[in-house]
Amino acid sequence: MFVDEHQILVPPETSQPAVLHTKKEKYARKLAFSQFVDSVKAVTACLGGLETATQLAVCCHNNYTHLTALHRHIATIHKEEINKKTEEILENGFSEAKWKVLRKPHKKNETSDCVSQLHLVAGHEVLEDLLPPERTELKEMSSQDIDNHKDGQILLFYKYRDIAETDAIKSWQLELCQRLQLTGKIRIASEGINATVGGSLNNTQLYMAYFIKHPLFRNMELQDFKTSKGSSQDFTGLSVGIHEEIVPLGISPNQLNPSDAGQHLTPQQFHKALTDFKLNPANNSDVVFVDCRNFYESKIGEFEGALTPDLRKFSYWPEYVDQNEGLFSDKDVYMYCTGGIRCERGSAYLKNKGVCRNVYQLEGGIHKYIEKYPDGFFRGKLFVFDKRFSIQSNEDVLAKCIYCDVSWDSYELCSSQGCHQLVLSCHSCRTQGHTACCQTCQLRPEHLQKEQCQCTTRRQRIPLH
């Protein structure tokens, strides 16, 4: 939420009409400020793309990389322009219908910037400001480019932020992705948004630019998005849904908040901690690095020496912590995951147990770490939740074919129609028909339902250390 640093005129009377007019002034001023910020952000974000990812806005011939500095500049230098725009909005911009939407009451525990929350539904002209032209006007990728991942990109990002109007955000995301011909998965909840989408390089850059134009997400920057080579073909389609949690931990956001998370460490800080741990293992018995991803992710890539719990789902993490408190007691704990989102509430849960000396988490996850250190301490492949299954930053192969034990780390889905387990079966074994995750699936591929195979039934739900 942007901060208005200047006072609204105090109404001369305390009667209801005067108070109502003051509310209109406040909303009009916020909207005027918002529109001014958009006017200096949009060109840089849309045209600069990733080449100018550190340049958020240009105003008065100065480059701004942080919203706080930009807002302070606008509030100080462009005060008269904001005042003039506010007057214009009050005179022309508030129809009775729009005012009713803007003054819609919110619950006390929800975000207070309701002009931002309702920016989408305040009027069609505001919605169009947050969307590109119709998709027929945009350049589409050729089938050859799609097949080769040429000029294609996949984005991975999340943002914890109170969202009162989740339906409005869902509608906006659907329309935005459809116009930009993006596919992927987007989870929206009252606590924030979690997304991974793919498409052409140009259209994914446009997506980022339009996303950070939204009033709810103006404090995000382009470097908050993790990027990798890919395309719209790496997803089965577009899924945008409203959920209770943006990553399923099984605990209500009202009971566990990411504001209680462990201290964020940059990839450089995390790398230094790993270096110290590697150089002096005997002096670091009170330090533990822990992977809070699923077992099939750490199986193909990990930080050597880290604790990799044999968990099938992230929702098992609280039980794992409860039953293995001794692992973390009076220790400095360094957590990591793919992009950082699971560590937010995962570290909050561990921290709230009160047994650790300190809890840290890798900011941006392994994804950002291997961008900075492609041949660093993370070895093997980074598992991703799309048809690619993994991203490779080094040549190490940590896993083996489950049938012949040859080094192999390329996943395929189990050939049993209802199973959906991931299988490590090398080319040679697959040509011999070994395409299932276990003997049960191999013999009864048409009858098996999800999570009924040997891979699930024989796995210990919560491993004890």
- Residue 284 contacts residue 334 (beta carbons within 8 Å): no
337 labelled catalytic: yes
Element (H, E) at 57: strand 57-59
Q: Angle at Cα 29 formed by Cα 207 and Cα 61, nearest 5°?
A: 60
End-to-end, the C-alpha distance of the chain in Å comes to 45
Q: How far apart are CA 108 and CA 106, in angstroms?
A: 6
Place of tokens 């392994």: 366
DSSP 191: T
Q: How far apart are CA 363 and CA 366, in angstroms?
A: 9
Amino acid 27 reads Y
Beta-strand ranges (E) seen in 301-406 are 301-303, 332-336, 358-362, 378-383, 390-392
- Residue 159 contacts residue 224 (beta carbons within 8 Å): yes
Structure-token pair, residue 127: 């919605």
- Collapsing DSSP to helix, strand or coil, 383 comes out as strand
Element (H, E) at 313: none
How far out from the chain centre does Cα 343 lie?
12
How far out from the chain centre does Cα 317 lie?
19
Q: How far apart are CA 407 and CA 398, in angstroms?
A: 7
Which of the residues 59, 114, 292, 337 is marked catalytic?
Answer: 337
- Residue 329 contacts residue 262 (beta carbons within 8 Å): no
For the stretch 74-108, what's the b/e string if a residue is b when 16 or more beta carbons lie within 10 angstroms of its beta carbon? bbeebeeebeebbeebbeebbeeebbeebeeeeee
Q: How far apart are CA 2 and CA 31, in angstroms?
A: 10
Indicate the Cα dihedral angle 132, 47, 371, 213, nearest 10°: -50
Largest CA distance in the chain: 86
Q: How far apart are CA 92 and CA 28, in angstroms?
A: 11
Q: Give the residue numbers annotated as catalytic, written as ranges.
A: 337
